[in-house]
A and B are shown apart, each in its own frame.
Chain A
Amino acid sequence: MQKKKRRFFYLFVFPGCLGIMVFVLLPFLDVVKRSFTTAVTGEFSGGKNYEAIFQNQAFLLAVKNTVRFTLICIPVLVALGLGTALLLSGLKKGRLLKAVYLLPLAMPTATVALVWKLVFYKQGFFNLFLTRLGLLTGLWGEVHREYLGTAAAFWVLVGSYIWKNMGYTVVLWLAGLSGISGEMLEAARVDGAGSWQRFWRITLPNLKGSLYTIVILSFLNSFKIYREAYLTAGAYPDQSIYLLQHLFNNWFVNLELDKMAAAAVCTGGVLMSAILALQRLWENG
């Protein structure tokens, strides 16, 4: 029986595995080899490429920005998503709203970029809104702030990431919330637990499984922000949003394949160990 099982397992999985071998794993071995050789002559150069990237200002900047982006975005998205999901689950007719929240996921980045540009230009809608708000409240005058060309671009990017992934996160949290038994909450209520107590003691601990999932998927989606960054600010944006993805792309365009290979090995290695560590946590948690 076990033998038969194994035969069919391989029969079904094999075509996909073969493709992954050909298109990802085998060429990655080539990349590892290249990371130890020079770009043009292909001579063995030891750790020179690795040394070069760790002394490269652009690489260090890109790593810093990417890490900063991830560390800010994911907690904000996770928390905002949970808040919204909690409010939505209290609403009887939440279906339509949920659909609206999910809609940005369906909007092609190219169309969104057009809107973002109009909103965040110096004379764009956002400054117009702020100016009107200032006039209305009498607190400040006209606002002519630059966003895309300055450090504020980072926050525009954070905002558009949250705008795009909010629905995704809310649906995941709602699924987690619906998995908590109503009887348990009801029993706690009868025993005299207030709504805060019920939230902290019952709802939150039961959402631990969802949290891991949401963090992993938010992480996966955080790499896709490059599309927005590239389409609103181009290949060489303000240095606050110069991400690893920009750097890889520019190296690729300039054919600096040796640096690219070393950086791909480093980034891949770090990501892989981070993912495996999270998986371990996930399985034990």
Chain B
Amino acid sequence: MDIRIIKKFCMAAKQAFLFMVLLLPALLVILPILLLLSGSLMDIWELGKYISPAFTEGKEFVSWKLLPDYPTFTGYGKLLFETPEFFVLFWNSMKLAVCILAGQLLVAVPAAWGFAVYQVRESRGLFALYVVLMLLPFQVTMLSSYLVLNKLSLLNTHQAIILPAVFSTFPVFLSYGGFKSIPCQMLEAARVDGAGEFTVFVRLGIPLGKSGLLSAMVLGFLEYWSLLEQPMAFLENKYLWPLSLYLPQLTWGQAGFAFCASVITLIPAVFVFAIGQDYLEQGIIYSGLKE
């Protein structure tokens, strides 16, 4: 037999084997999503029958069917048409995420441009401080934020979540990576042609460095869509809560509701993920860019 054919076959077999090995962990990602989807399409009785062993004493296990016996959209219908509170929470989540991202665009993107383009003596030290601030967990700065929000009497308003997040330094770090990849001769050429510094920023910087700031937006949206610590600490009024804080409060008695609400919460995140995946990968790489 031709040795080339054997070699080719070996290659293909190796590829197939690799694929199988790597598919196993991928299943651990896909199965939870399927579980949520199928659960959201079951009626209350079917769902109850499957999951009730989980929280009753006994030896019986939970069971499941990925294809429900009686698939139905009533769960969604109830949620969307008979529960106006759900919309309030959904829009709270949207408002928080969108306002934070818009604020970051205005504040963090120019700052990143400043760090990337105008290197002065102080910029190194200041940038190191930004990195440290980026890595401090919320709990360490929680008391500081509380004190200042209290003083400005912003507690229990959405601004209490939005304002501190706008000044987060993570998007500065990401956008910096994008701006840093623009060759400086190009900016110099624009300046020689008579463009002012702001024109250079708006006309050259933003279009050329957009992958950095878009990735900051994508990663930011995913982060702020599942806000938990901040609203838990600073929002008392349940009507101001985002979905991410409300969902876990549902009990097993409302399991059908919980499944539908989970799927609807999942949709915007997966949508942003799908359209932004390239930027997301780029952003993860920028976030790891060595100075």
Residue B54 at the chain A interface, CB threshold 8 Å: yes
Q: Are B111 and A13 closer than 8 Å at their CB atoms?
A: yes
In the complex, what residue of chain A is closest to B167 when comparing beta carbons? A19
Query: Given known contacts A5-B120, A108-B244, is B139 in contact with A248 (CB within 8 Å)?
Result: yes
Q: Which of A40-48, A53-61, A110-118, A149-157 contacts B (4 or more CB under 8 A)?
A: A110-118
Q: Are A175 and B285 closer than 8 Å at their CB atoms?
A: yes
Range of interface residues on B (Cβ < 8 Å) = 35 or more
Residues of A within 8 A of B (CB): 2, 5-6, 8-13, 15-17, 19-20, 22-24, 26-28, 30-31, 34, 84, 87-88, 90-94, 97-115, 117-118, 121-125, 127-128, 131, 142, 144, 163, 166, 168, 171-172, 175, 209-210, 212-214, 216-217, 219-220, 223, 226-227, 230-231, 244-245, 248-249, 252, 257, 260-261, 264, 267-268, 271-272, 275-276, 279, 282-283
B219 smallest CB distance to A (angstroms): 8
Is the contact region of chain A dominated by helix, strand, or loop, or is it mixed? Answer: helix
Q: Are A172 and B285 closer than 8 Å at their CB atoms?
A: yes
Q: Are B226 and A110 closer than 8 Å at their CB atoms?
A: yes
Flag B173-210 by CB within 8 Å of A: 1 or 0 each.
Answer: 00000000000000000000000010001000000000
| Sampled A-B contacts (25; CB under 8 Å) | A6-B120, A8-B114, A10-B114, A12-B111, A16-B110, A16-B172, A20-B167, A20-B169, A23-B145, A23-B167, A106-B273, A107-B32, A108-B225, A109-B244, A111-B262, A115-B36, A118-B62, A121-B54, A123-B53, A144-B59, A171-B281, A172-B284, A172-B288, A217-B288, A219-B135
B26 contacts which chain A residues (CB < 8 A)?
Answer: 97, 100-101
Q: Are A264 and B143 closer than 8 Å at their CB atoms?
A: yes
Query: Given known contacts A31-B147, A110-B244, is B265 in contact with A271 (CB within 8 Å)?
Result: no
Q: Are B15 and A92 closer than 8 Å at their CB atoms?
A: yes
Q: Are B169 and A118 closer than 8 Å at their CB atoms?
A: no
B36-87 contacts to A, CB under 8 A, are 36, 51, 53-56, 58-64
Q: Are B62 and A231 closer than 8 Å at their CB atoms?
A: no
Query: Given known contacts A19-B166, A118-B62, A172-B288, is B22 in contact with A91 (CB within 8 Å)?
Result: yes
* Residue from the set A23, A94, A115, A226 with the largest chain B CB neighbour count within 10 Å: A23
In the complex, what residue of chain A is closest to B116 when comparing beta carbons? A12
Query: Given known contacts A97-B23, A115-B36, A268-B140, is B270 in contact with A106 (CB within 8 Å)?
Result: yes
B290 contacts which chain A residues (CB < 8 A)?
Answer: 209, 212-213, 282
Which single member of A94, A108, A171, A223 contacts B269 (CB below 8 Å)? A108
Which single member of B143, B169, B277 contacts A260 (CB below 8 Å)? B143
Which single member of A9, A28, A91, A245 contacts B137 (CB below 8 Å)? A245
Flag B155-175 by CB within 8 Å of A: 1 or 0 each.
Answer: 000000001101101001000
B120-163 contacts to A, CB under 8 A, are 120, 122-123, 126, 128, 131-148, 163
B238 smallest CB distance to A (angstroms): 15
Bound together, the chains give a CA A10 to CA B118 distance in angstroms of 9
B58 contacts which chain A residues (CB < 8 A)?
Answer: 123
Q: Are A123 and B54 closer than 8 Å at their CB atoms?
A: yes
A12 contacts which chain B residues (CB < 8 A)?
Answer: 110-111, 113-114, 118, 201
Bound together, the chains give a CA A66 to CA B14 distance in angstroms of 41
Bound together, the chains give a CA A189 to CA B257 distance in angstroms of 59
B3 contacts which chain A residues (CB < 8 A)?
Answer: none
B25 contacts which chain A residues (CB < 8 A)?
Answer: 84, 101, 166
A97-B26, A213-B287 known; 14 other A-B pairs, CB under 8 Å?
A: A13-B111, A87-B22, A104-B29, A105-B273, A106-B272, A112-B32, A123-B58, A175-B284, A244-B139, A245-B229, A252-B233, A264-B141, A264-B143, A271-B137
